Structure 1
Amino acid sequence: MLFAFSIAPATTDNADGSVSASVAKAIEVVRRSGVSHRTDAMFTTLEGEWDECMAVIKECSEVLLAESPRVSLMIKADLRPGRTGELDGKVQRLNAAIDQL
């Protein structure tokens, strides 16, 4: 299963509005978790079982709630039990389809 999520504090003391220092704390949780993942400019995608992925997302939320009274969290999931390697597999299949055009 794949879980793409975006998380950030809704408030910041930074004059430029940056939340990168807070988001870095959440990504550190992801990296420590041992769950397969990929982070890009807008989302982090986890690949694993429901309970392990949701536990990581919950811990990220708790880390940000410890420093901000409000946190924004968006989750999108591709629930295909039994599938593995989809972080790369989906992209490989897409590229193969593009090559066929």
Structure 2
Amino acid sequence: MLVAFSVAPSGAEGPEGSVHDAVAAAVRIVRESGLPNRTNSMFTEIEGEWDEVFDVIRRATEAVGAYGPRVSLVLKADIRPGRTGELDGKVERLEAALKRGEAAPEGE
């Protein structure tokens, strides 16, 4: 499965960098997990089996909880049993379709 998630403290009182520090704590947990992942300006994507992915997200969320009284968590999941390498595979198929001048196949 692929999961894109965003986690941040809510209602935190503290220095300007506190949100960045909280997000860095979450991303550090994701990167140390060893699961395929990437972070962009809005989300962190992670790929793996259900239990291992959600364990990492749980730990990342708990780490952010240390930075404020509330935590905001947004998730989007693509659950396709038996598929691996989709973190890059989906993007590669999209880029190939763009080069051919076609739309991506249904379901991509």
TM-score (ref. length: structure 2): 0.86
1:1-101 equivalent positions in 2, closer than 5 A: 1-14=1-14, 16=16, 19-101=19-101
Cα deviation, residue 16, structure 1: 4.5
% of aligned pairs identical? 55
Which amino acid in 2 is paired with 1:56?
A: V
Measure the CA separation in 1 of the matches of 2:16 and 2:35.
32
Q: For residues 35-89 of structure 1, what are the alpha-carbon distances to aligned partners after superposition, in whole Å with 9 as ceiling and x for unaligned?
A: 1111111100001000000000000111112331100000000000111111110
Aligned residues: 101
Tell me by how many angstroms 1:15 deviates. 5.8
Is the Cα contact below 8 Å between 2:5 and 2:75 reproduced in 1?
A: yes
Residue 31 of structure 1 deviates from its aligned partner by 1.1
Aligned to 1:19, the other structure's residue is in SS state: helix
Q: Which runs of 4+ in 1 moved over 2 A?
A: 11-18
Q: Which residue of 1 aligns with 2:106?
A: none
Aligned partners of 2:35 and 2:23: how far apart in 1? 18
Q: TM-score, normalised by structure 1?
A: 0.92
Query: Structure 1 regions of 5+ residues with no counterpart?
Result: none
State the alpha-carbon separation in 1 of the partners of residues 3 and 86 from structure 2: 11
3-state SS, counterpart of residue 5 of structure 2: strand
Alpha-carbon separation, structure 2, partners of 1:56 and 1:17: 23
The two structures, once aligned, show a CA RMSD in angstroms of: 1.5
Q: CA deviation at 1:34?
A: 1.1
Closer/same/farther in 2, CA of residues 51 and 92 from structure 1, 3 Å limit:
same
The CA distance in 1 between the partners of 2:7 and 2:86, in whole Å, is 22
Letter in 2 for 1:41: S
